[in-house]
Each structure stands twice: as structure tokens, then as C-alpha cells.
Structure 1
């Protein structure tokens, strides 16, 4: 499966997607907060979903129900950088339980996680796109129905390619 130029292609699917506002760049150039999507082939680790917003997705990946106190650390000086963290926490983070629908369904890509390199970027997800598919902060975003369809195809050995 691959994402490029705002298109998702794979398993017979051709879908519209949004990519990072900073474009698609090589991982060697990727930095925290640059708004770019990292080019490369990434494993899909697990799926998070808001149980108050819909059922768990059909997928071969591990599925975790989000809680209101879930966050994602984006502070490169912290030991939990690029990891799910409980809130409140004293360092910089994203809320996973958001007021908008973007993180109602999220697949975590295995970017900068094995090992984690401080400052190389965090929270590279497949998530729900905003209306009109505006660029993301570095993630790949699809419509909620399209993301649910893609997740049906993904399992423990699945890879996603992001390319320019």
C-alpha cells in the first residue's frame, strides 16, 4: 500500500488522502514539528479508536480503545518521546481524545520508534482527514470510511509506503 501526491493505492483501492504540509521528505531530513511526511516504507503498529464515536474497526492489527486521558509525547527531551502517555503530563504532547474527528480512528506507523531518535519526528499516523483534505502536520489522512476500508486489509506484517 502506498501514499503519494494525495493518492492512496493498494489492494485494488484508489483513494484520496492528505499528506504533510511540509511535503514528503527523506527521513534523514525529518525533524520534529516540520510538518513533513517521512518518505519510506513503514510498518503499521496498532490502531486506536474512540469507542464513543463508533465501533472498533475490522482489522488484523492490535486495536486499542482510547481514553480521555490519552496523549502522545512530542517533547524530544523526554524519555517517552514518540509514545502514548497518560494525561495530564508535564511535557509537550498531543491529545489523542480530540474535539475534532481527526483521531477518532488512528493507525500508528512505525516511524522513529525502533529506536526512537530524539527530534526526528513523532506521531506519524494514518488518521481521519479534515473536510476538503487540507495538509496534515506530517501524517497521512483519509476519509473515515476510506480509513476503515484500508484497515480491513492491514495485519501484523503490513507495511505502508509514503513517497513523493
Structure 2
């Protein structure tokens, strides 16, 4: 596949569903429970309509063991969290437990972050309340809506990973 852009198009019928196109590959996905938005705000449950570069990734070490990808993938530690507290200096950054402010747990029991790719939404240039933890990750049963991320089936993530590189663009239309 020569494409460097992963297109995320809305799927008909349900605002929290999408179709991903990467070259000739097309797969179903889930997006935010509130659908898509151009005015992303912290906690709104929407996926930003934007072009976001892939920065890096995380994997849960005790689950998927061998990932074929040129993208830098770090192992999720037991104490790894992601700050989603807009008025904290660590907003939209990984932090370590214990952390008393609002945060996301990276080592989730539901397996959604067993493979989790970080999208450059409000990461390299942060602004308070613009949204945090916008990831490309695994989907739960029934393609449940996300809190604003893009999520795919583990089988589809494995198909996409060999082509995922730092700087690839995830473009939500």
C-alpha cells in the first residue's frame, strides 16, 4: 500500500460508526458517541474532524506480543496514565500513578488499549479544553462508541499496523 493517509468517513445510519479506507483496504470502525465535530472540546464524546499525524503507540505487554509495524511502540506499564485534566500542566500527556487529577488508565481491563496509537490531536500544540487522549485503538464488542477516538477490530488493526509509520495521517472527514 502506497497511501500515507488513513481516511475515516462517516458510515450511514449511526453517528458513532465510520468506515476506514487505507489504500485498497476498507474496514468498519467506531468513533465518538457524539459523532464528529470541528469544535472538539474536552469530554464532549466527539471525534475531531481533522487531519492528525500518527506520533507513536503503546501496547499491553501481557497481551499482543509480536506487532509488525515500523511505528515506535512502547509497552504500557502498570502505573501508566494519560492526563485529561485541562488545567494541569500535564494535560494530554502520559503521567504516572499515583496521579490525583483526572486521567485515563492506559492498562485497561477491557483491552481497548492493548494496541493504542497516539494521534496528534492537541499533543504537539496543546490548548486547554481542546480534547485529550484521541487515540486509534481496539474496539469493544458490538463496535461500541468511543469517547472521541477511532477504534477498529483487533484483526483489522493487525492488517493496518505493518503500514503505520510516524507521520502517517489519520484524516477524519
| Gap regions ≥5 residues in structure 2 | 1-5, 11-17
Task: Give the 3 Å change call, closer, same or farther, for CA 87–23 of structure 1 in structure 2.
Answer: same
| Alignment partners' CA distance in 2, 1:56 and 1:118 | 36
1:114 Cα offset (Å):
2.0
Equivalent in 94, 97, 100 of residue 104 of structure 2: 94
Residues 72-129 of structure 1: per-residue CA shift (max 9 Å, x gap): 0000010000011111111110100011110111000000012110100000001110
Where in structure 1 do 4 or more consecutive aligned residues deviate above 3 Å?
Answer: none
Residue 12 (structure 1) aligned with residue 17 (structure 2):
no
Which residue of structure 1 lines up, in the alignment, with residue 52 of structure 2? 42
**Structure 1 SS opposite 2:122:** coil
1:74–1:81 Cα contact (<8 Å) kept: yes
**Structure 2 SS opposite 1:58:** coil
| Alignment partners' CA distance in 2, 1:90 and 1:156 | 31
Which residue of structure 1 lines up, in the alignment, with residue 7 of structure 2? 2
1:59–1:153 Cα contact (<8 Å) kept: yes
Normalised TM-score (structure 1): 0.95
